[in-house]
Amino acid sequence: MSPALTTSQAATGVEVPGDRPAVRLSNVHKSFGRPGAVTPVLDDISLDVAPGEFVTLLGASGCGKSTLLNLVAGLDKPTAGTIEVPGPRPALMFQEHALFPWLTAGRNIELALRLAGVPRAERRPEAERLLELVRLGGSYDKRVHELSGGMRQRVAMARALAQGSQVLLMDEPFAALDAITRDVLHDEITRIWAERQLAVLFVTHNVREAVRLAQRVVLLSSRPGRIAREWRIDLPQPRRIESSGVADLSIEITEELRGEIRRHGKH
């Protein structure tokens, strides 16, 4: 095992540094269906995310990663167990930008600010400040169709940050982008995470992306999703996706992911 990687730990939930977790899941179960035809999706998930911690979730398709994120976001309720998120409701960023095409970039952000209770007079200056934060200064009046895919995701990121939460949930936000754009946005989210001291829970299928970004990588088993293993990543930030440290850890985690898929008969 690489010296940059601590020993992986069993899926019983591991306390992380900090006086109070930004997110705490305790023995969370989630099933879908009706009596007599119930499909378990998540099974006994216990996980803490510390304030300011960046955690990525990995697992095969259908293992419940997005379901877990929706539960933390409050979009659904667990079948059993508890989820605690002190403070404002988490901000959620999807794979698709989900911007309103009839609004400008700035107005999309202002809508989130209005819903967060920001007074009208403060919304435009704050929207412009958030656009500067994601390196889109001067784009307030641009329409969605005038923006590239990467720029749209930057606006979506600014809109998520406008919600004022210290917890950011990201569901494969860069999966649809080309490799170069994705690489640039990896740098941006790492910078913003560090500047704003956010707690981030990030879902991805890309092992190298997970290792590049995270302080901790959590691997879910195939359905029903359970925490199979986790790794603490001690490589210094900023990281490069092509660096030897990221590559070495990615190989190890990929082998574990393949093992989980084989064990559960998923191909």
pLDDT tens digit string along 157-180? Answer: 999 999 989 999 999 988 888 889
Please give the CATH number for the structural domain made up of 1-90+165-267. 3.40.50.300
| Mean pLDDT within 246-261 | 90
pLDDT digits (tens, 9 = 90+) for 18-37: 468 999 999 999 999 877 77
Q: Over 50: is that where the pLDDT of 249 sits? A: yes
Q: Over 80: is that where the pLDDT of 43 sits? A: yes
User: Which band of pLDDT confidence, cut at 50, 70 and 90, is reported for residue 219?
Assistant: very high
Indicate the length of the chain as a whole number. 267
Least confident stretch, 6-20, 32-46, 75-89, 227-241: 6-20
Q: Over 70: is that where the pLDDT of 197 sits? A: yes
Report pLDDT for 9. 35
Q: Which residue has the tokens 């989820």?
A: 83
Q: Which residue has the tokens 């996980």?
A: 47
Phi, psi of 171 (to 5 degrees): -105, 90
Report pLDDT for 96. 76
Residues 183, 179: Cα–Cα separation, whole Å? 6
Sketch the domain layout of the chain as residue ranges: 1-90+165-267, 101-164
Q: Which of the pair, 121 or 95, is modelled with greater confidence?
A: 121
What percentage of the chain has pLDDT greater than the value 90? 64
Report pLDDT for 223. 79
In 3D, which of 37, 8, 7, 13 has the Cα closest to residue 25?
A: 13
Element (H, E) at 227: strand 227-232
| Mean pLDDT within 192-208 | 94
Helix axes 149-161, 105-115, angle to 10 degrees: 20
Report pLDDT for 265. 63
Say if pTM beats, i.e. exceeds, 0.95: no
Report pLDDT for 15. 41
Q: Is the dihedral of CA 177, 178, 179, 182 positive or negative?
A: negative
Helix (H, G, I), strand (E, B) or coil at 92: strand
End-to-end alpha carbon distance in the chain: 26
